[in-house]
Structure 1
Amino acid sequence: MSGSEEESGRPGIPDRPMALRLDTQLEEIAEKLRELGRAKGRLEGLLDAVLALSREEDLPAVLHRVVTTAMELTGARYGALGVLDESGQELAQFITAGLSTAELEDLAGTEFPRGRGVLGHLIRHPKPLRVENIASHPASVGFPPGHPPMHTLLGVAISVRGTIYGDLYLSERTDGAPFDQDDEAIVLTLAGAAGIAIDNMRLLEQHRESAERFQRLLLPTLPDLHPFTGAATYRPATAPGHLGGDWYDAIWLPDNTCAAVIGDVVGHDLHSAAAMAQTRSMLRALLYDHLTPPSAVLHQLDRTLNALTDLPVTTACLARIEPAHQGWTLHWSTAGHLPPLLIAPGHRARYLQAEPGLPLAVGVEQPRPDHTHPLPAGAIVVFFTDGLIEHPAHSIDDGLAALAELATLHAGLPLQDFVDTLADHHPSDGHDDMAILALRTPEA
């Protein structure tokens, strides 16, 4: 017997066929472990995607994230989400991802798909659709000129409260393989999460719109302030459903003066909005009844609100533009509010810095200072709330300086365009609502 034969027959040493079988089994076990690892990674990716969808704060961001997440989970090169119109028969929106700059240029001028061909088949038959060769599908009508070549397709419907909202399309796995059942299962799960996220976004949008309408109903339409020109604007915060306490008002008083006020109730809820409306209404009554300096009106307002209501802390700036021997005089008092901004013709905008009083609902016995400043013909006085200039990355002084530059640059615009421009290009981050009131003295 040879030495090799003796070794193969020795106890504890497997023969060659047995060793090969063992290697094969180990490789199969290793492959199954790799598959489990891939499946675990996919599930973790899906969980991360669901959490990310729940954190988005606007609908376009949700729709785009659904597409890109589906591409990541399946390894697809191209992705799209078609949103159905009110009829449910055609696409009203088509969000795409994965197209290169060159591919986008090739498709420039091409109308986005309306839901014909294979895409239309999924609209009419909202069941998961996997196609290995799009051109061979009975519903295929081909691609428009300049469209990148696509062969495989995975499509699933997205439903919201039992109604089909749109369809999610994926094409061309980067590994060249067709989409499989695992791809379909994970995209179906993502589509379910997307439907919930879209529904939440729609509800938030409705809540936001209702809150904004309610807020605007509480604010006045400026009356005729002749011989002055007045303009105002209000912008809600970007936060969903945000209710603010910002307000403005301007009225012509019986003693031939124009009164203007800007205010901000602390808080962002219904209580703040209701307190704002109550404060504004009471202030109007006091202005007509007490033709006294602004400081006295604010003092009486503070005492009355303290006695009758549970008013949150409120800042305000109350001003009277009074006739003077030459032109006009601005007579104002502040309750912890930002100073007015003055833009005289031919001059840069500057703030009328002066000693502020305490905010309302802080201390009713403290004295409130009054201030005066002459106003030339054609001057603009701007009153605003802090939502216009506050930004977490910059100081208040930086925000005020940026607003003054912006006001100087656009002071020649018609007054309504002027305040709209300040609101459109505000130096703040938009986290808070903002109100702006501007008055222009007569030219002569």
Structure 2
Amino acid sequence: MSPTASTDDGDELLARLGALTAQARALAEVQRSRMELAVALQRGMLPRELPVVGGVRLAVRYAPAYQGLNVGGDWYDAFRMPDGRIGLSIGDVQGHNVEAAAFMGQVRVGLRALASVTGEPGELLAMTNDLLLSLGSDLFATCTFIRLDPASGVIESARAGHLPCVWATADGWSGVTRDEGGPPLGIQPESAYPVTRYRLDTGSLFVMLTDGVVEGPSMRLDEGMDHVVRLARIAAVARLDANALAAAVVKGAEQVGHDDDAAVLVISRDGPGTRP
């Protein structure tokens, strides 16, 4: 082979490598833009601020999945209801794509809108279930809805196929709620959602969360829930700030072994009450 031919081959190889590098950079930029768009869509469907209520502290943490368009449908919400009580919801939509994120927005908005018709958590979930079924979507959602009376500390809770809550008191008691739940939203017509009532002590707290916080290939659900119970007990006894607990709980999502959404909503109370 002549020196001229060798140089020509080298130039051609460098040109091909340059073209491949430019393509890779362009694809990476497109992927980054798609990821940012998906995450922005998802975050835009979550509330920008929480209600400020005397005697009650609310804190949230939310960590979205960051694999391209592999966004999920986890959400949280907190808002004032017409009777002055506070409505709180947390949930998870089946799937991890833009459709799941959009369906999540429908569920959250539906809960808010129907709360003006009925504030009773069981009836509210039943009406939301009927609404979602009427939309004809193939997706479904799990959800916990709580109605909180800030004055008395009474919590009324109903679950639609979702994880139970974690509770803890300032005197060292803690555990997982054992309330009866109904099926996920959007699956079965005319479903019933039983309501369970609790009352919070001074310094007591409730932790609402999604499964991305406590379950994955590297962590069993019972292990994850036990971890949150321990964190909640420590926070209640030490009178830690609700924001500190929410941050500690969502950090546990790093241990579950997968990229999934993770949402945590902490409720703590400064007024009187009794153990859940």
Q: TM-score range by the shorter chain?
A: 0.7 to 0.9
Q: Which residue of 1 aligns with 2:200?
A: 375
Q: Which residue of 2 aligns with 1:220?
A: 47
1:110-154 Cα shifts (integer Å, max 9, x gaps): xxxxxxxxxxxxxxxxxxxxxxxxxxxxxxxxxxxxxxxxxxxxx
**1:394 pairs with 2:187:** no
Select 2:181's aligned residue among 356, 362, 369. 356
1:260-289 Cα shifts (integer Å, max 9, x gaps): 110111112222222111111121121122
Q: Which residue of 2 aligns with 1:316?
A: 143
2:143 is paired with a residue of what secondary structure?
strand
2:149 is paired with a residue of what secondary structure?
strand
**1:432 pairs with 2:260:** yes
Deviation at 1:189, TM superposition (A): 5.5
Residues 85 and 149 in structure 2, CA contact (< 8 A), matched pair in contact too? yes
Residues 265 and 313 in structure 1, CA contact (< 8 A), matched pair in contact too? yes
Q: Which residue of 2 aligns with 1:100?
A: none
Q: Which moved more, 1:430-439 or 1:312-321?
A: 430-439
1:382-406 Cα shifts (integer Å, max 9, x gaps): 1111111122133211222223233
Distance 1:323 1:414 in 2: 18
Q: Which moved more, 1:400-409 or 1:188-197?
A: 188-197
Deviation at 1:302, TM superposition (A): 0.9
1:425 is paired with a residue of what secondary structure?
helix
Deviation at 1:334, TM superposition (A): 0.3
Deviation at 1:250, TM superposition (A): 0.9
Count of aligned pairs: 262
Query: Equivalences for 1:289-300 in 2 at 5 Å?
Result: 289-291=117-119, 293-300=120-127
Q: Structure 1 residues 266, 195: CA separation in 2 closer, same or farther (over 3 Å shift)?
A: same
1:390 is paired with a residue of what secondary structure?
coil
Q: Which moved more, 1:423-432 or 1:335-344?
A: 423-432
Regions of 4+ moved over 6 Å: 180-188
Q: Which residue of 1 aligns with 2:82?
A: 254
Residues 315 and 336 in structure 1, CA contact (< 8 A), matched pair in contact too? yes
Query: Equivalences for 1:82-97 in 2 at 5 Å?
Result: none
Select 1:279's aligned residue among 82, 107, 113. 107
Residues 225 and 251 in structure 1, CA contact (< 8 A), matched pair in contact too? no
1:316 is paired with a residue of what secondary structure?
strand
**1:328 pairs with 2:153:** yes
RMSD after superposition: 2.6
Q: Which residue of 2 aligns with 1:197?
A: 24
1:328-358 Cα shifts (integer Å, max 9, x gaps): 2221110000011112223254211222210
Q: Which residue of 2 aligns with 1:264?
A: 92
Residues 387 and 433 in structure 1, CA contact (< 8 A), matched pair in contact too? yes
Q: Which residue of 1 aligns with 2:128?
A: 301
Gaps of 5+ in 1: 1-179
Select 1:229's aligned residue among 57, 72, 89. 57
Quote the sequence identity (%). 28
Distance 1:378 1:413 in 2: 9
Distance 1:191 1:354 in 2: 62
Aligned partner letter, 2:205: I
Residues 157 and 196 in structure 2, CA contact (< 8 A), matched pair in contact too? yes
Residues 286 and 301 in structure 1, CA contact (< 8 A), matched pair in contact too? yes
Gaps of 5+ in 2: 1-6
Q: Which moved more, 1:400-409 or 1:200-209?
A: 400-409
Q: Which residue of 1 aligns with 2:67?
A: 239
Aligned partner letter, 2:95: G
Residues 380 and 440 in structure 1, CA contact (< 8 A), matched pair in contact too? yes
Residues 219 and 257 in structure 2, CA contact (< 8 A), matched pair in contact too? no
Deviation at 1:294, TM superposition (A): 0.9
Q: Structure 1 residues 425, 366: CA separation in 2 closer, same or farther (over 3 Å shift)?
A: closer
1:225 is paired with a residue of what secondary structure?
coil
Aligned partner letter, 1:339: P
Q: Which residue of 2 aligns with 1:173?
A: none
Q: Structure 1 residues 187, 415: CA separation in 2 closer, same or farther (over 3 Å shift)?
A: farther
Deviation at 1:364, TM superposition (A): 2.0
Deviation at 1:363, TM superposition (A): 0.9
Distance 1:276 1:319 in 2: 18
Query: Equivalences for 1:145-156 in 2 at 5 Å?
Result: none
Residues 140 and 185 in structure 2, CA contact (< 8 A), matched pair in contact too? yes
Q: Structure 1 residues 186, 313: CA separation in 2 closer, same or farther (over 3 Å shift)?
A: same
Q: Which has the larger radius of gyration?
A: 1
- With normalisation by structure 1, the TM-score equals 0.54
